[in-house]
Each structure stands twice: as C-alpha cells, then as structure tokens.
Amino acid sequence: MLAVENKTSLIWETLQKVADPEIPVISVVDMGMITQVELLCPSCVRIQMTPTFVGCPAISYLQDQIERAIKALGFLRVEVNVDFSTAWTSNRITEKGLQLLKGFRLSPPKRHNGEVTMESLQEAECPNCGSHNTSLNTPFGPTLCRALHFCYDCNQAFEQFKPV
Amino acid sequence: MDLLKEFLYKVADDELILGHRNSEWTGLGPMLEEDIAFSSMAQDKIGHANALYNILYIELGEQQPDQIAFGRKEKDFKCCHLVEMPNGEYDFSLIRHFLFDHSELLRYTLLEQSSFAPLAQLAKKIKGELKYHVLHGDTWIKKLGKANEESHARMQSALNEAWPLALGIFEEGPYEVELISQGIFVGEATLKEQWLVSVSTILELANLKIPVNIEASLGGRRGYHTEHLAPLLKEMTEVFSLDPNAEW
C-alpha cells in the first residue's frame, strides 16, 4: 500500500492524462481546472473541479473521465465535484498549458491582474507569425472558450483562447 | 429562505428564457458569425440558469435543475416581459440583447458582494463571461445606429419598442427591503441607476435616443406574463414532457 503522499501524487499524475475534449492537447491540470485532491479514506478520493465556462458542455464528460481514470488506479470511491468557490480564470492555465495552446495554434490568453478590460479582450498575438497587428473579428467561436481574430501580417484568421 | 428563493428564481428564469430565445437564431442568423454569437450566448445563459437552479437545489432544497426548468407552470416563472418577447427582426433581438446584457453584467458585478456566499462565488465567475456578451452588443449597436438611414431608423424603432419592456427588468419583488437589509442584493433601484448610465453612454455614441416618459412593463416578477411565454414553454418542454423521468 502506498503512503498518502505517494497516492496523492499518483492521482495528480493520472489527472495529467485526462484532457479537455475540445482541446485534446492540454490536460485538466494544465488547464487549471483541478482545485483540490483529497484522500478521504485509503480507497476514496474527492476531487474538486472548477469549470472554465459555466455553460461548458464538457463538464459532465470530464467528471466521468476523471472518475474512470482514478478508479482504474484501484480507488473504490471517487467523487468529482463542480465547485465555484475557486473561480476559474485564464490565469489558472499553467505556463506549460499556454505553450501547448500555442502549439495547437490557439493564441494563448494574456495574463491579467484579475480584471479583464473590454479593450484587452480585443488584443491577441497571432499564433502563426507572432504579430500583434491583429483585430478581433467576433468574440464567439467554435467553442465557448474561443474567439476569432485576424492577422494583418500573415493575412490569416486565427482562434484565440479567451482571456477571462 | 423564501426571499433567497424568490430572488434566485427571478434571476435564473431570465437567463433560461432569454437563452432559449437566443437559441432560436441557431441556423437562422443573418450571417455565420452572428448565428454562432447568438448560439454561444444561448449556451452561456442556459448554463448560468442551470448553475443558479443548482444552488436552489443543493442549498435551498428545491427540485433538481431539470425539474425546475421544465416542470413548472407558466405562473411559477418569474422572468421579466423583455426576455419572453419573440425574436422579431434582428434589430429587436440585438437591442434586447444589448439592454438585457448590460443589466446582467452589472447585476452580477453587484452580486460579487452578496452575503450569500454560493451566489457571490458564482457571480464572480459569470461576470467574466458576460463581458463578451456586452462587447458583442455594444459593437453592433454602435455600428448599426450610425451605418445608414435605414439601419438607424430600424434600431431606433426597435429601441422604442424594447424600452418599456427593459424597464420591467427592475420590477421589485415582495422581499426587496429584506434582500437589501440582509446584504443579499443592493436592490433593483440601484441596479437601474447604474444601468441607465451604462446603456446611455453607448446609445449616445450610436446616435440613438432613449424614449421619454415611458411606463415600465410590469408583472413578470409576480408571475403575470405576456401571451408569448406559454407557447415558448410548450415548445421548450415538449421532449421533457414525453417522459419526465427518462435518464439522459
């Protein structure tokens, strides 16, 4: 039997393999969605998850995927709760996560001081050529977390992960 | 307890009904980006309603969110008349979205300070999402208010039609005094004051005039609705009503 610390780190490692279905390159951990992992008994775990968008349709799918992944480690009871006590903001995405988004050709959200201004919503770096000579085409894209921009240097439309 | 329920139902019902109306643009928007915009805002708003109904369920012992959304009678809904109105032409839908979403962003900003913690936490999260809705509304109002004579005339006439309905957003419920004294919400009067400043700024930039001496369209908060809510509910609950206990 593993010690408590080892079990907890095993759980975190496993969560690194559970991905957001809409952006499959980034895990729920790098997305900043996991706020707490608690061992309630030797074989029971409680995980707190804060959703990126309140209306995100992937929430129950992710709860299910997390439960399966952790149960596969041998835990008998796995509780995955949606919890708003820690509000998700794009600042919660890890540095590694930002790089993964960029690799996926999604312009990563800029870090902010807690309040995103109306002006800053409209700025994005082109993930193809790195230019800042871009404009917001529409604040709504293929998923709730993406906006559509245009780059005047490489003349291409691109998607941005919204800063919130 | 009753006052919290009353308040949450009112806020959540607005979100659900306007979310449903927004979703009626899916597949019919005047251009692809707008189709996606209204569909995305629908998804957000219905998600917000669901989260609020979940607070009613978990914290206050009401029924499960699906039961609340699809199982109640028309008179149990506490939404304002503005959100019930049919989509009409795109000008009316845009003006309604602009007027309502400004009030919504301000309401959640004020609710961040609510003494009821689950609501304050949720408000903080929702507020960030709503900035995109307001940005979308502001962009179109400013564009179309000034684009040409026809667009200006149409936006002005839509504004005239929507204004009394929008004033109905701020209809006070039976527990207004208690809500304020217990620090749950600062009150509709304060919200309305802030909203007037916020929408006036944009309307001015768009060359649109706020109609004067208009009476608010009241009753929604007490369960008295326009003739448009019942058909909406009938359509929205059609599948659920076939088998209310079905597992999805």
Residues in chain A: 164
Task: Using a pLDDT cut of 90, give the percent of chain B over it.
Answer: 97
pLDDT tens digits along A28-69: 999 999 999 999 999 999 999 999 999 988 899 999 999 999
* pTM summary value: 0.94
Cβ–Cβ below 8 Å for A140 and B136: yes
Residue with tokens 């209204």: B38
Kindly report, residue by residue over B27-76, the tens digit of the pLDDT. 999 999 999 999 999 999 999 999 999 999 999 999 999 999 999 999 99
Q: What residues of B are in the A interface, CB distance below 8 Å?
A: 33, 36-37, 39-41, 43-48, 50-51, 118, 121-122, 124-126, 128-129, 131-132, 134-136, 138
Which residues of chain A have a CB within 8 Å of the CB of B50? Answer: 54-55
Backbone angles phi, psi at B9, to 5 degrees: -60, -45
pLDDT band at B235 (very low <50, low <70, confident <90, very high): very high
Q: Do A139 and B132 touch (CB under 8 A)?
A: yes
CB–CB of B119/B111 below 8 Å?
Answer: yes
DSSP letters along B93-126, please? HHHHHHHHHHHHHHHHHHHTT-SSHHHHHHHHHH
Q: Complex ipTM, two decimals?
A: 0.88
Q: B128–A89: do the CB atoms touch at under 8 Å?
A: yes
Whether residue B226 contacts residue B80, with contact meaning beta carbons closer than 8 Å, is answered with no
Q: Residue B158 and residue B131: Cα distance in Å, rounded?
A: 23
pLDDT band at B1 (very low <50, low <70, confident <90, very high): low
- What integer pLDDT is reported at residue A110 of this predicted model? 93
Q: Which of B23, B39, B132 to mutate to test the interface with A (most CBs of A within 10 A)?
A: B132
Q: What is the mean pLDDT of residues B164-191?
A: 97
pLDDT digits (tens, 9 = 90+) for B73-124: 999 999 999 999 999 999 999 999 999 999 999 999 999 999 999 999 999 9
Amino acid residing at A123 = E
Q: How far is B8 from chain A (nearest CA, A)?
A: 16
pLDDT band for position A3 (cuts 50, 70, 90): confident
Rounded to 10 deg, the angle between the B32-60 and B117-146 helix axes is 160
Q: In whole angstroms, give the CA distance from residue B9 to residue B3.
A: 10
Give the SS3 label for residue A23: strand
**pLDDT attached to residue B53:** 98
